[in-house]
Structure 1
Amino acid sequence: MTWEQYAAAWSALHGGFDPRTASPVVRGWVRLAYRGGSLLGRWRVGPTTVTVAGLLLCAGVPFVPLLAGAVLVLLASFADALDGAVAVVTGRTTRLGFVYDSVADRLGELAWLAAFWVAGVPGWLVVAALAVSWLHEYVRARAAAAGMDGLGVVTVGERPTRVSVAVSGLVAGGVAGLVHPGWDRTVVLVAVLVWILLGLIGLAQLLAAVRRTLVD
């Protein structure tokens, strides 16, 4: 499968969002996933195997030091991109696989936030952050079921933002803890607050788009 064919298929699976016209970072990330997915497809590695591997990486995040957790989040995020790439390249995209991937994403985010809780963030803030991100995905899913075409809008609270906040928070928290014991708690607390703030803004953007699209 050529890059052009892959980009078209990827766009159809992501609400019409075309990676060929995206920012250099997004375009580069999708192209990297395409190359990795093509390689794994030649090795006969299935998309479900990659999904499970990514979920296992996420499961380890709360049990390792913050800096190591950041590495696991990055690897899991790449696995998340690779499973879809393998499915597209090998022609094994299924509706059931889409559901499995979505469930794995939510469980992965739960593990990332659990790492912040282990690092000292109050439990109620962690639950709030989880609720905001899950509500974002739930609203989009229900809006799509109600007839909204595509993503509706790309918000500041999308999954790539959560990945960035998780990695940045874990890295900064790990470094801060090495510099001065106790600073790591402050840093991870700020990271969770940023997660919540961006999530709320993104949810507001999404609700506005849903209203514009579905209003009678």
Structure 2
Amino acid sequence: MTNQNDTPQAYPHSRDGAGLEGMPASLSALISRAQENQSRPPVERWNPDHCGALDMRIAADGSWHYMGSPIGREALVRLFASVLRKDEDGETYLVTPVEKIAITVDDAPFQAVEMAFDGDPDARGGLTFRTNVGDVVAVDADHPLRFAVEASSGGLKAYVLVRGRLEALLTRALMFDLVALADEGQGEYAGHFGVASGSDFFAICPMADVERFGAMI
């Protein structure tokens, strides 16, 4: 599960698949304090010890699972999402001031479920996305769009950088909405098909490949 040599710890399974008794003490304490502080913890500044792996998985559809059971409590999912961090080793962790615990992410940790476009394509309006865990992200140079081809299906996927190294995968419906805004770039991006957000342009493919690209979505 993890690239490090630590032996993953096994935590006992709770009856509802998302109870506190089966989780590390620091995470249980964090959950119990969830309603006291709604601000996002400064996980990027924490440097705790690596404490193995937890049997927690974020599926490709954005749903969270603990020891094989779905976590149905939205408040709990949002809390875990607030202490999520992806490190340089490519692993994704739940991070507290005293523990860093690896979890499994099938694709992106978040899903972009709503999109707003402030303006029209000719005016180079700005794009904003809302994720399934409540993040609101304005697309710009610090929060870019990224496009990738899915190996299994050959379909095109789009991601937006939310924070740190954590991305949100656009839903299929949003992909169609995003493509409807795409056009040929200007200046250094002339000859490329892509999406503009404010003064930034995010290329999808060369204009010569647009017909092939259309078949990929």
**TM-score of the superposed pair, with normalisation by structure 2:** 0.25
Q: Which structure would you say has the larger RCO, counting Cα contacts within 8 Å and 6 or more residues apart?
A: 1
Q: Greater share of helix residues, 1 or 2?
A: 1
**Rg: which structure is higher?**
2
**TM-score of the superposed pair, with normalisation by structure 1:** 0.25
